[in-house]
Amino acid sequence: MEVDMNQPSPAERLRSLLCSASSLDIVAASRRVSLLDGHAVDDAGRLTIEVPGDSALALDLSDGPLPALIEITDVSPVAMRNRIRARVTLAGGLRPAGGTTTIFDMAAADLTERGVTTYVAPAEFAAAAPDLLASREAALLCHLVDAHADLVSWLSRLVPVERLHGVTRVYPLHLDRFGIVLRLEFPSHDRDVRLPFGQPCVAVEDAPSRMLELLARARACRRRVP
């Protein structure tokens, strides 16, 4: 399979999503449980979940490991018409690890983006690292919209003109070390376009300068802002 070196791999995107997600749903023992701020992924890619000790799920786990599904919905921090960026389904098993801590042993993972589902092998997930901007992405995108909304329109100058015909709104959808993804809204549909940085960020502090480089390129384009 051809690998696109200008964006994070599916395994990296999945790892980033799990690290930045604030909530997840667990489906186990005929129950669906929603947990907020109760999970973490360690350096080895192991997913640990804090299950409230007085919950029905904790009671189920007291009898031993359980087969389970974990579902996560990635929602854009920026308000727009269709805010769902990705959906994740993890299949595997839950096992108690002492106290309220539960370990999820992943057997399979599916990442669905823009209607396309990609399988991520557990070994690929474990070997991947989250994108270095993952923990700051939401804050950076919201700052861009709240403090520099006009710059988003300027960035759209870098999109091929034939892809902008009929566009009504432009939003920042994703930000990672490789670049920014713009959401182009049309009356009846939307389209996502990636604008790559000249060089990937090697530290979080590189993001502002990379964005300024993109804006300089956009300002050099002799085209009207949508």
* pLDDT attached to residue 223: 63
For tokens 């200008």, the residue is 6
- β-partners of residue 186 are none
CATH code matching the domain that covers 137-219, chosen among 3.40.50.720, 3.10.180.10, 3.40.50.300, 3.20.180.10: 3.20.180.10
What is the Cα–Cα distance from 74 to 148, expressed in whole angstroms?
Answer: 24
What is the Cα–Cα distance from 220 to 70, expressed in whole angstroms?
Answer: 46
State pLDDT tens for residues 55-77.
999 999 999 999 999 999 999 99
* pLDDT attached to residue 43: 87
Q: Is the pLDDT of residue 53 over 70?
A: yes
Confidence category of residue 2, pLDDT binned at 50, 70, 90? very low
Question: Where are the domains positioned within the chain?
Answer: 10-127, 137-219
Counting beta carbons within 10 angstroms of the beta carbon of residue 83, is it exposed (0 to 12), middle (13 to 18) or buried (19 or more)?
middle
CATH class name, domain 10-127: mainly beta
Confidence category of residue 195, pLDDT binned at 50, 70, 90? very high
- If we measure between CA atoms, which residue out of 43, 39, 48, 47 comes closest to residue 21? 39
Q: What is the mean pLDDT of residues 24-36?
A: 95
The pair of structure tokens assigned to 204 is: 């979080």
The structure's pTM equals: 0.91
Q: Is the pLDDT of residue 1 over 90?
A: no
The DSSP secondary-structure symbol of 197 reads -
Q: What angle do CA 173, 26, 106 make, to 5 degrees?
A: 85
Q: Is the pLDDT of residue 214 over 80?
A: yes
